[in-house]
Structure 1
Amino acid sequence: MTTGFAVAAALASACCFAAAAVMQQSAAASVPESDSLRPRLILDLLRRPLWLAGIGMSFFSYVIQGVALAFGPLVLVLPLAALDLVFALPMVALRRRRRLTAAEITGAACTSGGVAAFLAALPPPAGIVAPSVGDWLPLLAVAAGCVCVLVPVGRRRPGRSRTALYAAAAGVMFALLDSLTKSTAGLFRENGVGTLAHWEPYALLLVGGTGMLLAQSSFQAGSLTVSLPIIDTLEPIGGVLMGAVVFQERLATSWALAVQGLGALAAVAGIVILGRSPWVYGRM
């Protein structure tokens, strides 16, 4: 029952995040490029009702995903969260009163089928609830190093390259955010308000704020056709790796590992195809 509940919550979170991302990108694209990576970007966006609605929806999706992570492992929840783009395109198509193209249907099928294959080969859930600080330190160092490299390079690059680099940094932060959410949710189930005596909730706020700023900067720098596929690819891949390394969650072995690998490749290919849809670009 807990696994089924985690699956349902993860799918609901993906659907909500899809709507949130489209609204946020539509609002962020109208902000001057000079605001990128500055707190003023968030201040400008706070005056835009569409962006506020997107943030509200994004927060709601994050809460639902937190519930999913409280009942299921990262290696189960995050591949399902990668389906947000599958939900996003039909929303845009319905709003614009157009039909999905054959390529978009193919992309959705590849993503959905790839995620299904990955999860079908997944062994029974296992792992630890809250890793020690020593387990976290190497992960935190790697994530911080990635951001410290990607962001300065992105600032010196124009157009699509900047969008891609900011999105990659956001994807790394969101993967770390998911891992911290998993740990915080597990602590809350065991300790209740005593969780506030641990460091994870406060790191959650810092990482979440950093990830949001990076994501908004990538949305502002270019279209979702560049940023969202990168975030949707790096977040679940990074989260699954963090789950295996830090939380000791099990991945498949032997032939089942090959099935998971092929499923992951199919899902990534589908995300790339969906991300190239012109309907993702521009205002809703």
Structure 2
Amino acid sequence: MSVALPKPLAISVSVMLEGWTDDSAPGIGPMGNPLKPGVLDLQARSWAEYGPKAGAWRLLDILHKLEVRSVFYVSGILAERYPDLMKAIVGAGHAVAAHGWGQNIIPSYQTAAEEAHDLQRCVKAIEQSTGRSPPGWLSPRCTPSDRTSALLAKSGFDWHADFFDQDLPRRHSTPDGMITAVPFTMEVNDMPLYVRYGAEPEAFTRTFERIAGNWPRLGLPQGCLDITVHAHVFGRPFGAIEFMNCLEAVQRYDEWAWLTDHQTLAGLCKAG
């Protein structure tokens, strides 16, 4: 059963705060050309570390200035290493959801025991740094295993965002109980647009406005759209400016669109 939205287009704001284990680095970085297999890319590691050290703080400032609430999807390894940042995120009124232990650890590659272990240490790190259990989950690379939803339901999570097959949140049955499946859209996301496809920063807002501005032409269906930035990518000045532009653009479509976040959508779905 899907949720009925207050307005046709729900626009969720999410910040990805991602970390890698010490023996790994992002597979995609600004240099473009990957190093030889077996060589640790220290440039990519340093690039990624901008997220917790500078980018997340800038994005927090923007969200505060525009009075926008977001979900921060956080790697457990960063929750453990940057407790002051975690406290600042929660103190500003944002939700901290789980994004795996490290970005190089993909659930679909793991055994059941490995996945359960990494999920629990991610939860523990977030609990210890924020004082709260993470209510939601998004897998590294958005790629769960065939048992992830059941493991999350069993562990007490409210929502799971590794879903791309429908337009609205819905209750999802697993062998270990129910969980809310929150759809995650990739169209307004700095990682594919800027890093993978090489688009200029302005493509972020253009893509958003193409969708939101033309929503009435589609018949004003009920649906979800994500505005997603990574702290180590659009947390930098060139991207933060565009993130701000995009959030401000939402006001032009407030007749049929509204700003929200995955936690709010999951709550509406569960209540309905």
Normalised TM-score (structure 2)? 0.30
Higher strand share: 2
